[in-house]
Amino acid sequence: MEYSPPLFPKLLFLLIIIIAAVLHHSTARPLPLFAATSYPKQALPIKSGYLTVNPTTGSSIFYTFYEAQNPHKNASKISQTPILIWLQGGPGCSSMIANLYELGPWIVNQNLSLEPNSGSWNNLFGLLFLDNPIGTGFSIAASPQEIPRNQNDVAKHLYIAIKEFIALDESFKTRPIYITGESYAGKYIPAIGYHILTENQCLPRGKRVNLGGVAIGNGLTDPEIQVATHGVNAYNLGLINEKQKALLEELQFEAVGFVKSGNWSEATNARTNVLNALTNMTGLATLGSESLVFEVCSDVVGDALKDDVMKSVRYMVEFLVKKSVKVLLYQGQCDLRDGVVSTLAWVKKMEWEGIERFLKAERKVWRVDGKLAGYVQRWESLSHAVVMNAGHLVPTDQGVNSQVMIQDWVLERGSFAGEETQDIQLKGSV
């Protein structure tokens, strides 16, 4: 599994309570309320419920929407306030993990109560969590056969759901939409961005989805290239020795071989072997309790997308960047799964006329309140950010810094300010 949140067992119970409260508040299909009294009123989303992707069968995507807490003073009109959509990875993990454990307005603390999240991503922007694809979290798949098995089908459902969400409120129609998420969502995010652009081309201006950009956190996007980077990355970090590196590289080679021969399910298994071996060798990235992961992430969805895991969507990212859609790729610097080396390995192979200039653009030191937060590199529509002292789940590890990052990127200020005129200093040879 691509995404294994380090949750502890008691949290599952809490998740159930909280999700029950959220559902109770939702307009459609309320579930029995377990313990709403323990759920602070201010923590409830302003809207939640179901977006029907197939009216015939009833398959639906569950959503939870939080309005901006302090809409940007500039965007005094809510109709201009951006909306971030969050997609969880997995495949098959609920976005409620991000809501309650990473970037929602209220998060679960050490003693299992809720507290306001100072790093919440809905500070300036609206924040919409989707349980994607159907069959994930509280989303409903009428039958397992209806669960998408490839990114085009994932995107088709997501597109219907997003259009339906936008239709819920007049003000949503004009608000810029930013698609965000992490890990295996590194496949979903380019796919829905690509799909929106393609649909927009055939629609009159007023009916288009106002796509502002896409942001991929610690993403799996071009697996064939990414799976081949684990050994050298861990070795250079001093986490494994040469013998272990050689062993990992053998396993990586197997995974790449299965990709090349189009044996997709074996390629997915082979990648799991690589990650398990890496975990074993380093003692890091330990997985949460399997039973818990089972509850929060759907095995049925994982199985449905098993043949999809190792397929690249890099061409979709290239398409977005070429069409001048803002793309942000960010990684926690300590992530051993889909980290910096893994991402830059495919970025440098991008087919895009701006790639050389991106690779030569200055990598700026990024500070938040005077403290080192990471590094940012940008050329035109493509931005790359490295977040210090963070692993696979950046918002969990660096709440406030991740909030600053997403805000500055959307608003193109601070480290993400455009500098097209003064970039490109070819600073000697490499």
Catalytic positions are: 183, 335, 392
Give the range of 86-94, 108-116, 206-214, 309-317 binding ligand NAG by CB under 6 A. 108-116
- What single-letter DSSP state applies at residue 95? T
Q: From the list 79, 113, 236, 241, which residue makes contact with ligand NAG (rule: CB under 6 A)?
A: 113
Question: Is there a contact between 106 and 114 (Cβ–Cβ < 8 Å)?
Answer: yes
- What single-letter DSSP state applies at residue 310? T
Nearer to ligand NAG, 152 or 261 (CB): 261
Nearer to ligand NAG, 280 or 291 (CB): 280
Task: Say if residue 71 is preceded by a cis peptide, omega within 30 of 0.
Answer: no
Question: Is there a contact between 101 and 7 (Cβ–Cβ < 8 Å)?
Answer: yes
Smallest CA-to-CA distance from 215 within 101, 90, 127, 94 is with 127
Coil, helix or strand at residue 319: helix
Q: How far is the CB of 263 from ligand NAG (least distance, A)?
A: 4
Give the range of 109-117, 137-145, 207-215, 296-304 binding ligand NAG by CB under 6 A. 109-117
70: contact with ligand NAG by CB under 6 A: no
- What single-letter DSSP state applies at residue 353? T
Give the range of 13-21, 46-54, 104-112, 355-363 binding ligand NAG by CB under 6 A. 104-112
Q: From the list 280, 422, 425, 429, which residue makes contact with ligand NAG (rule: CB under 6 A)?
A: 280
Instruction: With CB under 6 A as the rule, give the number of residues binding ligand NAG.
Output: 9
266: contact with ligand NAG by CB under 6 A: yes
The H or E element that residue 188 is part of is helix 185-200
Cα 54 from Cα 419, distance rounded (Å): 45
Give the range of 57-65, 107-115, 287-295, 417-425 binding ligand NAG by CB under 6 A. 107-115
109: contact with ligand NAG by CB under 6 A: yes
Question: What is the distance of C-alpha 220 from the center of its chain?
Answer: 10
β-bridge partners, 54: 59
Nearer to ligand NAG, 74 or 118 (CB): 74
Q: From the list 70, 111, 201, 421, which residue makes contact with ligand NAG (rule: CB under 6 A)?
A: 111
Cα 176 from Cα 222, distance rounded (Å): 27
Q: How far is the CB of 350 from ligand NAG (least distance, A)?
A: 29
β-bridge partners, 382: 327, 379
| Phi, psi (degrees; rounded to nearest 5) at 135 | 95, -10
145: contact with ligand NAG by CB under 6 A: no
Nearer to ligand NAG, 213 or 219 (CB): 213
Question: What is the distance of C-alpha 372 from the center of its chain?
Answer: 24
Q: From the list 52, 57, 263, 273, which residue makes contact with ligand NAG (rule: CB under 6 A)?
A: 263
Smallest CA-to-CA distance from 405 within 384, 381, 420, 421 is with 384
| Phi, psi (degrees; rounded to nearest 5) at 110 | -50, -45
Nearer to ligand NAG, 38 or 143 (CB): 38
282: contact with ligand NAG by CB under 6 A: no
Give the range of 103-111, 205-213, 249-257, 309-317 binding ligand NAG by CB under 6 A. 103-111
- Per-residue binding letters, 359-398, with ligand NAG (x by CB under 6 A): ----------------------------------------
Interhelix angle 151-166/185-200, rounded to 10 degrees, is: 60
Q: Which residues sit at the interface with ligand NAG, rule CB under 6 A?
A: 74, 76, 109-111, 113, 263, 266, 280
